[in-house]
Structure 1
Amino acid sequence: VRFLEAQNRKLADELEKLKAKWGKETTQIKAMYQAELDEARRLLDEAEKDKARLEIKVASLEEQLEESRQKFGDATKEIIEQRERIEKQIQQLADFEAEVGLLRRRVEILESDRDKDKKMITQLQDGINRARIDLDNETLLHVDAENRRQTLEEELEFLKQIHEQELKELAALAYRDTTAENREFWKNEMGQCLREIQQVYDEKVDIMRGEMETFYNLKVQEFKTGATRGTIETQHAKEEVKKLRTIITDLRDKFAELENRNLHLQRELDTLRREKEERERELEDENNQLKTEVAKLRAEMEAILKELQDIMDTKLGLELEIAAYRKLLEGEESRLGLRQIVEQITSGHFSGGADHSDSSLRMSQLIKGEMSAKTTYQRSAKGPISIAECATDGKFITIENTGRKDESLAGFKIKRNIDGLDKTEYAFDKNYVLKSGAKAKIWGQGQKPLSASASDLEAPFQNWGLGANITTKLLSQNGEDRATHVQKTVYSS
């Protein structure tokens, strides 16, 4: 008991000495590194200011980019409207050309009908000429018949005169006869002969007169009928020709009007085409300028993002150094002494390495002075979909399809457990499909770069989280583990 009490007093004295000594040396070390800490704080403040300035510049550039996109969209809409107008004009021109072609065909048909009517008129005129010739022939025959009739009448008159002369002579002979009976007999005979001759003559004359009248009436009737028919046909042909001429005149007027309208539309179409070409050239130049500006803005944005990333890396390094300083300042004194530890820390450097084996095991080590951090990565998958990479700063998670066909991730989820706690969870869209051999990154909100792939996604939270022990799982619709990514970090001194 006495020994323990003595030992206890000895330890208490040593503790008092250490406490007194610790306070003095801590104050000295704090005064020694206060300037460096102030400089680090100043750098941090400047980094925050630069970050805020760059964020403002990035926001302004994004607004300019959005405005340029809006102008480009308006120009595209205007081009589409111009194309629609040109297509409507072309369709209208095609309709007019079709109408002109139809009218041309109608004109050709009417011209062929006109040629047919001309041929018919020529035929009718030939028929009329033939009828006139026949009429002239019939007139000549009629005149010949009249002459024959007159000749026959004169011959008849001559025969009458001869008969009368003979009768006179016979009468004279009869009167010379002295016998009354003879005179009476011859008188009766002569009367009987004269009556018979007169009867025969009258019958012949009646027959000839009937034949002549019948022939003459028949010819006249035929001529009248032919002339009437020819006159009707001629009048009908004249009316048809007049109608056809009126229709042809109207069609020619309408054709001339349509040709003028077609020329006017052709000129309008040429004007619209020239305006379209000029507008397309202007829009193309403006589009090229916008593309150039967008490329410049993207290059500036990437440079700014790179500079911002460098600043963030510098800030992270400074925070790690400050944390190390704070830990060393608050720590206990070792055998080498607190000053020696601080000198070793300030003279130390960061180093890291990584290797990757077929079993998907990766290790990296970060050493600063006498302190080191050892990180181990391990992957596993039960199908073609695997978790290929998890960013150390928690910005993104990469998934990969190693199969030969496209895989649907409808209903799949990614859960991330950090130091034993479920921190983040992301659910895929029901229509999302990962193509064969493709990779896709799920970025934190606002972390997705402009040069990201079209298959990349963006989560509704800013960061996937940081920690020492991180387990990332890909769960199916039934909650089954399909892929796992384990990250373990061990710190040692």
Structure 2
Amino acid sequence: MVTEMGSATIGGISPALSANAAKSFLEATDKEKKELQIKYSTSLSTARKDIDDSARRKAEIDVKVARLRDDLAEYRNRYEDIQHRREADREKIAQWTNAIADAENELEMLRARVHEQEVKELQALLAQAPADTREFFKNELALAIRDIKDEYDYIAKQGKQDMESWYKLKVSEVQGSANRAAMESTYQREEVKRMRDNIGDLRGKLGDLENKNALLEKEVQNLNYQLSDDQRQYEMALNDRDATLRRMREECQTLVAELQALLDTKQMLDAEIAIYRKMLEGEESRVGLRQMVEQVVKTHSLQQQEDTDSTRSVRGEVSTKTTFQRSAKGNVTIAECDPNGKFITLENTHRTKDENLGEHKLKRKLDKGREIVFTIPPNTVLKAGKTMKIYARDQGGINNPPESLVFEGENTWGIGANVVTSLYNKEGEERATHTQKTIQTGI
């Protein structure tokens, strides 16, 4: 809550002292502001740099993980391709083994058929030839059969060797392919294991970086909260300073007015003393004395009228003392209430934040119990650092929101010795007050 007190009484503060106090307060406020900026700018820059480094590292790790995943998928595809090729070679070996077995079986059958056919032909020849011839041909036939058998054995042996060499070659090729596939499979398994280990390490590092990033973000959030609090306290300090400056200016103006009144009184008293001195020194007649007295009374009456116009009597029958008090819960305060009831001024003391005063109520209670109520139109926004005057009807104001409004319900806000003006929000909560008390005393 910001509270301002003002009094139109004579004080002992000189304008020079007030100016020095205001200057010292401004210098202290500026120094505190610079210290706060230096204190938190370094922390914020360091936190932002750590966050940027964490984001960059996280991006690099994501790229490495994606590349490793692509490599893993490629190795997996190659491994599956080699497995398929190995299965296909095994099927080919089985087919070739079956083909060799079928060829050997067919070869044995052909041998048996050829042998049987030759035996039948020789038996037929032997049956037709004479005994000597039969014996001769029998020997020749035995030799021929032996030669045929030897040649057949040689051909069969050669074919078997060729078949075995071809079979061994194919088997060696298949075994080499299988060994290569097994080696590649082993290498791929080791590579996959290494990649999984790397991925696990990267995930651990990523988790650590994410935790560090979360801590840094939390620290930045706390610093932002603290900065907001410091800014709010700084705004409150500025508002207090502005209120103090306004109060000191008002007191200075009051002191100047009182000093001027005292000077005027001194001049009047000097004139009276000079007249009385002439009365004592001169030998004027009763008529001259009456003229002097009338002159003194006329001068006294003129001075009293001038002081009454300035709302203060220095040497009259009545002395007027006016005291006012202002308070606010928030940024909007009642800055001024016209003594003649022409207008009321609202002020937004915040430097950056606008305030929505739509449907707020302004109540003014006079000393006789009368209460004047005015409701501010909806969607009326008072800009930061701006003021808004609310005029009574026919008091020279124009309806130009949000700078000025006209209260058409009353032609005056009312005057009195004890006047309380209050501002309420839509929920009926009192947000600002302005209290004015006027006391008249005789001298």
SS of structure 2 residue aligned to 1:393: coil
State the Cα distance separating 1:283 from its structure 2 match.
1.1
* 1:284-313 superposed Cα distances (whole Å, 9 cap, x missing partner): 111111111111111111111111111111
Q: Displacement, 1:392?
A: 6.0
- The aligned residue for residue 128 of structure 1 is 114
Partners of 1:149 and 1:66 lie apart in 2 by: 115
The residue aligned with 1:367 is 333
**1:291/1:489 CA distance change after superposition, 3 Å:** farther
Determine which structure has greater relative contact order: mean sequence separation of CA pairs < 8 Å that are 6+ residues apart, divided by chain length. Answer: 2
Equivalent positions of 1:87-98 (< 5 A) are 87-98=73-84
Percent identity (aligned): 9
Q: Which of residues 184, 194, 207 is equivalent to 1:288?
A: 207
- Asked whether the 8 Å contact 2:18–2:248 carries over to 1, the reply is no
**Where does structure 1 lack aligned partners over 5 or more consecutive residues?**
1-21, 151-215, 353-365, 376-390, 395-417, 420-464, 470-486
Give the counterpart of 1:114 among 100, 113, 120.
100
Structure with max Cα Rg: 1
CA displacement at 1:55 relative to structure 2: 1.6
Verify: 1:79 aligned to 2:57, yes or no: no
Once residues 31 and 370 of structure 1 are traced to their aligned partners in structure 2, the CA distance between those partners, rounded to angstroms, is: 26
Counterpart among 229, 234, 242 of residue 323 in structure 1: 242
- Is the Cα contact below 8 Å between 2:334 and 2:347 reproduced in 1? no
Aligned to 1:251: 170
**Are 1:124 and 1:233, in contact at CA under 8 Å, matched by a contact in 2?**
no
Name the counterpart of 2:329.
350
Instruction: Label 1:39 to 1:241 Cα distance change in 2 as closer, same or farther (>3 A).
Output: farther
Q: How far has the Cα of 1:80 moved from its partner?
A: 1.9
Q: Deviations over 1:367-422 (max 9, x none)?
A: 378787478xxxxxxxxxxxxxxx9638xxxxxxxxxxxxxxxxxxxxxxx99xxx
| 2: CA distance, partners of 1:106 / 1:135 | 43
Give the SS at the match of 2:130. Answer: helix
Distance 1:368 1:338, change over 3 A: farther
1:100 to 77, 86, 90: 86
SS where residue 314 of structure 1 aligns?
A: helix
Counterpart of 2:44 in structure 1: which amino acid? V
Show the counterpart of 2:41: 55
Q: Compute the displacement of 1:25 (Å).
A: 5.0
Superposition deviation, residue 58 in structure 1? 0.9
How far residue 116 of structure 1 moved from its aligned partner, in angstroms, is 2.0
The CA distance in 2 between the partners of 1:109 and 1:368, in whole Å, is 106
Counterparts of 1:291 and 1:26 in 2: how far apart (Å)? Answer: 65
Does the CA-based 8 Å contact 1:79-1:280 persist in structure 2?
yes
Unaligned 5+ segments in structure 2 are 1-7, 255-309, 313-319, 338-344, 355-380, 388-400, 406-422, 424-433, 435-443
C-alpha separation between the residues in 1 aligned to 2:334 and 2:27? 21
The CA RMSD over aligned residues, in Å, is 4.7
Task: Tell me what 1:268 maps to.
Answer: 187
What is the match of residue 55 of structure 2? Answer: 69
Quote the offset at 1:281 in angstroms: 1.6
Aligned partner letter, 2:243: A
For residue 233 of structure 2, what is the aligned residue in structure 1? 314
Q: Residues 100-126 of structure 1, C-alpha deviation per residue, up to 9 Å, x if partnerless?
A: 233223222212221221221121122
Deviations 1:445-490 (A, max 9, x none): xxxxxxxxxxxxxxxxxxxx95649xxxxxxxxxxxxxxxxx9477
Distance 1:339 1:279 in 2: 83
Matches within 5 A, 1:84-233: 84-134=70-120, 137-138=123-124, 140-141=126-127, 145-147=129-131
Q: Which amino acid aligns with 2:329?
A: F
Q: Does structure 2 retain, via aligned residues, the 8 Å contact 1:96–1:262?
A: yes
Number of equivalences? 284
Distance 1:279 1:70 in 2: 19
